[in-house]
């Protein structure tokens, strides 16, 4: 069927809610938000999509799906029984790790074990040196011996990561082929299929994580495909912000560990572009956690992240997560201090006000108690919240603290706010960025309840509330620009690059080979008519460091160099950009020290078709400010701060029109979220988005 007649769906499954959004064949948005089904996420996805499909005349549809299945399996350690195969002599690699102490001054440190125990690690006789040359060949007899050993144990998955396999993948490829032939029912993967980059521990960890969640993800995606058997196509959203086929997601699930949050960042950038805003801090507060990211006009990618304590070496958006969400549970610790999270009530039983059996106070309950979250406007009135139940549960907590209920509720929110402020400082101040120079883009079901307060604490003057904020992650998946990335380790000194035409030509050839790999991978994910109709954009990057340093900085190239002469003309520019960034981050330079090219990467994507509006710093003059009367649906008492309850207007966002202006105190309600606007804040409706401004911060 023609893509113009297909219904495009995007679904983000979270710990509490499943968000569904689609564009029908006329391009009109339709949304649905329902409680998640943790035991089988595909159940809520199917239910949410079917509700919308019943309203549409054309049954053909395509789905882009953000999933937490791999992440949850890793964090909860409920993946497959996995074997780890490496070069003989390196079987203890996962246990040794990097010898980093999680608590620097603790006398008794308890180190979390990796996913594979030492008894499940096996070595094979083979050896490749750091230049990719074979020192000891991997023989057929050795592979047969390993297969015999593994056959004696009921492993579901096997991870293969040989020393320097990123330079010479031949031994890994032969070994994986033999294992797949011998054990067709087992999930087998090699490091060279996932990440062809140096750092043996991180590469091994990533490969093991991929194998560990592989069978879990395959079962889940098979269930999803069976439920949505009539789908024209199903794609999964990766941590890098790209959508990929079910086959790739099944074989390389480690790429989906930040699937949902990545969609939120892409959606926030889309909303910011539509509002004429470039530099943003994204603030995504859902039911179980909060995700924050800093973007200077485009998403920031990192090549090394963590899930729990384990390193994962795959490209992912630079997102920082803390365990503070609407469902985070408030409790008093052994020392009598009020704590919030990281435990969450989730979707089942959920907060007390959900009336689903929950009996532990959450952040959501605190908002209900204080009148910020309106019981009759939750999910557009489809789900009623029980305020009396929240007040009664909060009273029990207040009795133990010998404090009034309202003060305890405010305390719960203040503790949660403190955790989220710390998270934003991690991705801004700790990286040399001033948050006051950015606009806070708030989304997620609970984001608008905290956005203005967080902005005030950080000195941020502007907050953007996108349309359908509780569904923005799904919205980002729906509109994300398709793209694929490839990389290769290439160690060479700057002196050799400048002195040798042959070395420069080798670098050019390798970079073009990397870009070709990325383009081929993108072509496999797209329909031919889409690829042929859109221009491709190549974004090559060098990773450069001073010789002797452990880590490198990224320097973007202005397009692919045509030949070695073209590359030679770029070297001085690359060095200058490296030194500028090095001095900004670390405050010093070592111009007498030679540089070293460490890695080359290339992203290939479709051209950006987003139209940018002219930015506007100021809001309209007070004489022009107006607010549609139909938008004001009630006057209620709301507690914003310790001074007590204030009269506030309840504003129905769906009734707002472009140019409408809002002044706090107010509570703006809509289907997928609620926004609290304290006194001293005013806002303007810009298209489908609302930009809030701190008047007191001027």
Percent of the chain with pLDDT over 90: 56
pLDDT in tens, 113-122: 899 999 999 9
Q: Work out the pLDDT band at 644, boundaries 50, 70, 90.
A: confident
- Lowest pLDDT segment from 17-26, 99-108, 153-162, 682-691: 99-108
Is the pLDDT at 508 greater than 70, yes or no? yes
Is the pLDDT at 161 greater than 70, yes or no? yes
CB 194 within 8 A of CB 51: no
Is the pLDDT at 646 greater than 60, yes or no? yes
pLDDT value of position 577: 95
Residue 12: CB partners within 8 Å, gap ≥ 6? 18, 19, 65, 66, 260, 263, 264, 471, 473, 474, 477
The mean pLDDT value for 638-658 works out to 90
- 16 or 174, which is more confident? 174
Q: Work out the pLDDT band at 159, boundaries 50, 70, 90.
A: very high
Q: Work out the pLDDT band at 530, boundaries 50, 70, 90.
A: low
Q: Work out the pLDDT band at 619, boundaries 50, 70, 90.
A: very low
Three-state SS annotation for 667-690: EEEECCEEEEECCCEEEEEECCEE
pLDDT value of position 529: 61
pLDDT in tens, 339-382: 998 888 877 788 999 988 888 999 999 999 999 998 888 877 77
Q: How far apart are CA 420 and CA 635, in angstroms?
A: 30
pLDDT in tens, 212-237: 999 999 999 999 999 999 888 899 99
Is the pLDDT at 645 greater than 50, yes or no? yes
Q: Is 74-218 in CATH node 3.40.50?
A: yes
Residue owning tokens 């709301």: 638
Query: How does the average pLDDT of the chain come out, rounded?
Result: 88
Is the pLDDT at 579 greater than 60, yes or no? yes
For residue 28, which of 58, 1, 48, 2 has the smallest C-alpha distance? 58
483-606 shares the fold of 74-218: no
Tell me the torsion sign for CA atoms 116, 118, 122, 126.
Answer: positive
3-state secondary structure (DSSP) of residue 481: coil
pLDDT value of position 204: 96
pTM, full prediction: 0.85
Is the pLDDT at 57 greater than 80, yes or no? no
Is the pLDDT at 614 greater than 60, yes or no? no
Q: 194-224 as b/e, with b when 16 or more CB fall inside 10 Å?
A: bbbbbbbbbbbbbbbbbbbbbbbbbebbeeb
CATH number for 483-606: choose from 3.30.1490, 2.40.128, 3.30.70, 3.40.50. 3.30.1490
Q: Work out the pLDDT band at 616, boundaries 50, 70, 90.
A: very low
pLDDT value of position 621: 43
Question: 438: left (phi > 0), else alpha (psi -120 to 50), else beta?
Answer: beta
CB 126 within 8 A of CB 137: yes
Among 8-12, 78-82, 630-634, which range has the highest average pLDDT? 78-82
pLDDT in tens, 390-428: 999 999 889 888 899 999 999 999 999 999 999 999 999
pLDDT value of position 697: 62
Partners of 645 in beta bridges:
639
Q: Is the peptide bond before 342 cis (omega within 30 degrees of 0)?
A: yes
For residue 157, which of 84, 108, 96 has the smallest C-alpha distance? 84
CB 423 within 8 A of CB 416: no
Q: Where are the domains of the chain?
A: 74-218, 483-606
DSSP string, 314-339: S-EE--EEES--TTEEEEE-TTS-EE
Q: Work out the pLDDT band at 308, boundaries 50, 70, 90.
A: confident
Tokens of 511: 């970079």
Is the pLDDT at 300 greater than 90, yes or no? no
Q: Work out the pLDDT band at 615, boundaries 50, 70, 90.
A: very low
Element (H, E) at 628: none
The CA-atom distances, in angstroms, between 363 and each of 344, 417, 580, 670 are 10, 10, 43, 19
Q: How far apart are CA 483 and CA 485, in angstroms?
A: 7
- 654 or 186, which is more confident? 186
pLDDT value of position 193: 93
Q: How far apart are CA 362 and CA 343, in angstroms?
A: 10
pLDDT value of position 64: 92
Q: How far apart are CA 435 and CA 136, in angstroms?
A: 54
Q: Work out the pLDDT band at 623, boundaries 50, 70, 90.
A: very low
């Amino acid at each position: 069927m023609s893509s113009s007649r297909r219904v495009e769906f995007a679904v983000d499954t979270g710990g509490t809610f499943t968000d569904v959004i689609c564009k029908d064949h006329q391009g009109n948005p339709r949304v649905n938000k329902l409680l998640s089904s943790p035991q089988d996420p595909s159940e809520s996805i199917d239910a949410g999509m079917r509700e919308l499909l019943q309203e549409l005349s054309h049954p053909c549809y395509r789905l882009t799906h953000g999933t937490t299945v791999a992440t949850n399996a890793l964090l909860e350690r409920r993946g497959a029984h996995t074997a780890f195969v490496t070069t003989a002599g390196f079987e203890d690699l996962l246990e040794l790790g990097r010898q980093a102490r999680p608590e620097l001054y603790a006398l008794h440190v308890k180190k979390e074990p990796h996913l594979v125990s030492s008894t499940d690690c096996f070595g094979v006789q083979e050896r490749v040196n750091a230049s990719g040359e074979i020192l000891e060949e991997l023989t057929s007899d050795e592979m047969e011996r390993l297969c015999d050993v593994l056959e004696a144990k009921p492993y579901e998955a096997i991870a293969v990561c040989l020393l320097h396999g990123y330079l010479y993948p031949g031994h890994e490829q032969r070994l994986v082929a033999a294992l797949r032939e011998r054990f067709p029912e087992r999930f087998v993967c090699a490091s060279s299929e996932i990440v062809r980059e140096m750092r043996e521990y991180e590469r091994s960890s990533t490969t093991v994580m991929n194998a560990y969640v592989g069978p879990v993800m395959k079962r889940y995606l098979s269930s999803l495909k069976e439920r949505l058997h009539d789908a024209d196509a199903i794609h999964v959203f990766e941590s890098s912000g790209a959508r990929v086929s079910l086959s790739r997601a099944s074989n390389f699930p480690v790429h989906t560990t930040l699937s949902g949050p990545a969609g939120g960042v892409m959606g926030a950038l889309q909303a910011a572009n539509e509002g004429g805003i470039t530099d943003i801090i994204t603030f995504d507060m859902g039911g179980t956690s909060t995700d924050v990211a800093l973007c200077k006009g485009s998403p920031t990618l990192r090549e090394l992240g963590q899930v729990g304590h384990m390193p994962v070496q795959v490209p992912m958006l630079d997102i920082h997560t803390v365990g503070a969400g609407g469902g985070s549970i408030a409790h008093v610790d052994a020392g009598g201090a009020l704590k919030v999270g990281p435990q969450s009530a989730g979707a089942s039983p959920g907060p007390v006000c959900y009336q689903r059996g929950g009996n532990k106070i959450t952040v959501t309950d605190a908002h209900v108690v204080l009148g910020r979250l309106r019981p009759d406007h939750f999910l557009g009135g489809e789900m009623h919240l029980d305020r009396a139940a929240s007040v009664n549960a909060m009273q029990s907590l207040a009795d133990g603290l010998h404090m009034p209920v309202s003060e305890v509720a405010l305390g719960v929110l203040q503790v949660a706010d403190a955790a989220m402020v710390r998270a934003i400082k991690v991705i801004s101040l700790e990286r040399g960025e001033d948050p006051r120079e950015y606009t806070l883009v708030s989304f997620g079901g609970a984001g608008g309840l905290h956005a203005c307060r967080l902005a005030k604490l950080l000195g941020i003057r502007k907050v953007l509330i996108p349309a359908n904020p509780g569904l923005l992650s799904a919205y980002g998946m729906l509109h994300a620009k398709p793209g694929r990335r490839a990389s290769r380790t290439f160690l060479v000194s700057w002196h050799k690059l400048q002195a040798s035409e042959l070395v420069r030509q080798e670098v050019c050839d390798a970079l073009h080979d990397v870009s070709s790999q990325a383009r081929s991978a993108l072509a496999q994910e797209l329909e031919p008519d889409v690829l042929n109709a859109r221009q491709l954009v190549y974004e090559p990057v060098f990773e450069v460091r001073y010789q002797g340093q452990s880590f490198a900085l990224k320097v973007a190239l202005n397009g692919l160099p045509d030949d070695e002469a073209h590359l030679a003309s770029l070297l001085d520019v690359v060095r200058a950009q490296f030194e500028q960034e090095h001095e900004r981050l670390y405050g010093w330079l070592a111009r007498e020290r030679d540089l070293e090219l460490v890695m080359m990467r290339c992203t290939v994507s479709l051209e950006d078709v987003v139209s940018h509006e002219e930015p506007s710093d100021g809001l309209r003059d007070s004489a022009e400010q107006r607010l549609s009367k139909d938008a004001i649906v009630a006057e209620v008492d709301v507690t914003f701060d310790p001074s007590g309850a204030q009269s506030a207007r309840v504003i129905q966002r769906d009734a707002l029109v472009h140019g409408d202006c809002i002044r706090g105190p107010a509570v703006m309600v809509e289907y997928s979220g609620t926004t609290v606007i304290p006194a001293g804040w005013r806002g303007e409706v810009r298209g489908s988005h609302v930009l809030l401004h701190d008047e007191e911060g001027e």
